[in-house]
Structure formats: C-alpha cells, structure tokens
Structure 1
Amino acid sequence: MTFSIVGRDGTSWGVAVASKFLAVGNAVPAAVAGVGALATQADANVAWKGIGLALLDEGATAEVALDRMLEEDDKRDHRQLGIVDVDGGAASHTGSACFDWAGGIVGDGVAIQGNILTGPEVVEAMKVAWDAGAGEQLSRRLLAALAAGDAAGGDKRGRQSAALLVVSDGAGYGGMDDVATDLRVDDHPEPITELGRLLDLNDLYLTASTEEERVPVTPELESEIAALVAAAGHPNLAAWVGTENYEMRVAEDGSWIDTRVLDLLREHRPGATD
C-alpha cells in the first residue's frame, strides 16, 4: 500500500513516502541525525522505528539491524522495511506475504521499497531519479525520487498521503535540533505535488539563509528597508520579520537580509507592480 525511499547524503539522512493510506507519515518514517533512517510499511510494525534506530545507535549496520528485527518478529513475512545506517549502508526487506507487486532495491546510501504497486517499474524509476539527483539537497533528491515512482505508476490503488523527513546535525529551527524537514500531507488528491509546495515554504520559512543568499545591509539599504516596513505598517524591521515569520532569514543585529525576503519586502511597497 506504500512506496518509500530511505537515503543518506553526506551528513543528512531522510525518508520520503507516499501511499493510498491516511497520514502515512504517522506510521512509516523515522530518522535520527548521526544514526540513520528507516521506513516500516506493509503490515507496518511501528515499534521497529524505535528498535531499529536504537540498534543503529548501538553500532549495528543496516543489514545487522534488519536481521535482528526480523528474527524477533513472527509477522516478518507480512512486513516491509528499508533502512540506511550512519555510513550509508542500506538494506531492504519484503516479506513473502506482502501483496503484489512488492519488492525493493538497495544501493549505496539508499533503500527503496514498495507494496501494492503497479509493478517493479515504480522502484526502478525511483532509483534512476535518486542517482540523477546526486549533489542536490537531500530533501529535494528524495522528493524527486518519490515523484518519479508516482509517475511510473505508484500505489495501484491511487493516492492519498505523503511525507518527507530529513535530519542533519543542527539543521533544525534556530539550530536547536536536527530536524531539517518534517512535512506531511495526510489526505489530498495530489499528495506528492502538495508535498513539493510545502517543501518550498519550508525552505523559505524554516531554513537558514546561506552565505550566498545574505545581502549586507548598507546605510542606504537600511534607509530603504526602514521606509518599506513603515509603509507596511510596522515600526521597524524586527516587527515586520516577526509578523511575517522570516526570523531564519534576517540577521538579529540587522547586518544582513536574505535576498528573497528583501525581494518580498520590495514587492509589497506602495506602487509596486508585478
């Protein structure tokens, strides 16, 4: 009922998943930065999320962790699991009792699996997209692979939900945790497309500006910004930023502003045209 991809790229680990099932992101993905990631599906054993990550944290490889989980589960033939460890080792399991079509592919840093699919072309297309995305942001790479699987046929029952989880050390909001991306579309006619829209918003609001995106605030620009925020009805830049939720994209001391945020501010000035 589900197809997923678990991947590691550099110092990031993540999972992307889609299904004709309500809120698939609630059941399938799990990841911890510096430890690994996994997807549990088919007759999903959600306890495997904690068990699998604990085994990886103790130093088990993906294959060893998978074998240990299977040994202790009497419904292993009904389960499906993809797992990637701290070093990018990957393993995938498809139980013999999973509904057709069911299967998976593993590669360096990636485990792809699905059940109740239109056929093997789904996971094959996902692997091609994953390989083609080398060097891209992991969230984008996983989403592209998920979209490729959907375009190849996906879940043969249709579409309902999708989710994307990516972790990396210090990548969370304000650098206070490791969750770079945690997005869910729980019930939607085009969940993967909607997930892409949410990822665009996530990158704007919840991802810190890169050095290349930071525009130094010169005295001239400071005067322009002050006039723009005043015209927008705010006493200063900090007040406008807090209202619009751009805290990750403007320096606390006002020394720089993100180029996209500056463009958005200018677009809303009186008399601005599209």
Structure 2
Amino acid sequence: MSTQFTTLERAISQVADGSRVAFSKLYPMALVRELIRQGKRDLRFVGMPIAGLAADLLAASGSLASVETGAVTLGPLGAARSYQRAVREGAVKALPSSCSVIVSALTGGSLGQPFVAVPGLIGSGILRERDDFLVIPNPYEPEFDIVLVPSIQPDVAFIHAAAADAEGNLLVDGGGDEALLARAARRTIATVESVSPEALDRRARGSEIISGAYVDFVVAEPRSTHPFPGYGDKTPDRAALQAYVAASATPAEIAAYIDRVIRSSGGEADYLAKAAL
C-alpha cells in the first residue's frame, strides 16, 4: 500500500474499536483528540516505553480497555489521575511492564517473532501480575532462568514527524522510537509539521528517515503535538497543561473539560482556541 495523504478524520476512521495502538514519546496529540471525537472504544494502549498525557486523556474519555507500558505519569505535572481512577475502578486494565521489555517486545514484533527473551525481570513484581510472561530455564545455560514475553505487533502505530516528502518518507529525530514503531505495526498513521518534495534534503545531523513503505497515512497538522512542543518549538503550552491538570481532579470536571474542549470542537483550530480557557 502506498502512503495516503489525508485528514485527521479520514485517518482515524480507519482505526477499529478494540485495536492495539502504540504511541511514541513525541505524542501526536491531534490523533488522540480525534480518537475521542470519533468515540473509539476498547483500545489496547501500548506506551513506548512509558505513557503520559495520551493515556490519561484516553482513559478519562472512556476509550481504553488496557494500558501496557513501563509507567504512566505526567512527569513534573504530577500523577496521571484519570488513568489511576480508571484502573482502580476496573474500567482500564493495567498491564505492568518495563521500558526494556516494551522495546524488546516491539523489536520482536518488527522481526515477525512470536516472543522474545528479556533480561532483568527475575524476582520482579511484574512477573506476579503478568501470567503471559513465562519463566523457563535458559536453554544454553540451564542453571539460570530466563523470561519469555510475547512480541508486540500493534494494529496501529501513531507517530509524529518533522516532515514528509511526496512519497511519504518521514524525517524524525534520531535515537527515538518512531522508526521501531513503524516497523512493528501493521499500520502506521503519522502527523507531520510540513509536506515538501525537499523534506529529506533538510536532514540535520542525527536525524533519521522512516521509509514510506512503513507509513500508511500522513496528516499535515503543524501543531499536532499541542500542548507539548513539536519540532523547532521547545516551549510547551503551560496554560493548556495546567488547565488539563486542574480539570483532572474529579471525574465530573474532566468529563466536562473533554466535552467542551475536544468533543464539541470543530477540529484542531477550534480545539486550540479552547484549550487554555
């Protein structure tokens, strides 16, 4: 399938309820908001390697069935309160993991392997909560145990890139997780800040190119990481973040926030006008 350049609405319409969805650290938040607008449900969230605002917001909107990640936190903004409530109330199932396990499992998924062996979990509390993680004798050193975990092959990966060229090749910062997610997933949806035939010519030292062969849909949405900064913009929208954190204090407040700021918005431009109010 060749890359299709499309809208947020069209891209998210391709995501089925119950899909296993994975997000990179540079969240394409516009895609998250469109998932909520379209009322997607029972999504199985994979955070690479940890999760934050995207998981908290989707939990608050009732969009999630489970979250598999190393941690869910809003970092300096504090606890992910909506996610924590959803887990306590049984609305969302927490699948504890670790950063190294998530990376290893996605790597296995990108290679078509059914499972991978991972280090570092023997004796951890994670094993008590994950009956799908198996402890067996190391076949090469039987005196030591090793842990096998299922590979992760998401139904959809959501990533954000600096730019795309006409063939759907993406330009991203090197050392991130976007390329791994695109290789592991059955389908990839990317937001980009610009589309240009010369996009890859502006490649800076340390940047990376993701082949369009791994990218199904590209959406040009310059501020799609809001309220976080994107490429070339290092300043988060603190007012919008503080408004969200304040609203997440209670279920009623966050539900009203989502209805007013996201569900009732006429798209991203309308959302941006409402986000910090």
TM-score, length basis structure 1 = 0.32
Would you tell me which structure has more helix in proportion to its own residues?
1
Where relative contact order (Cα < 8 A, 6+ residues apart) is larger, the structure is 2
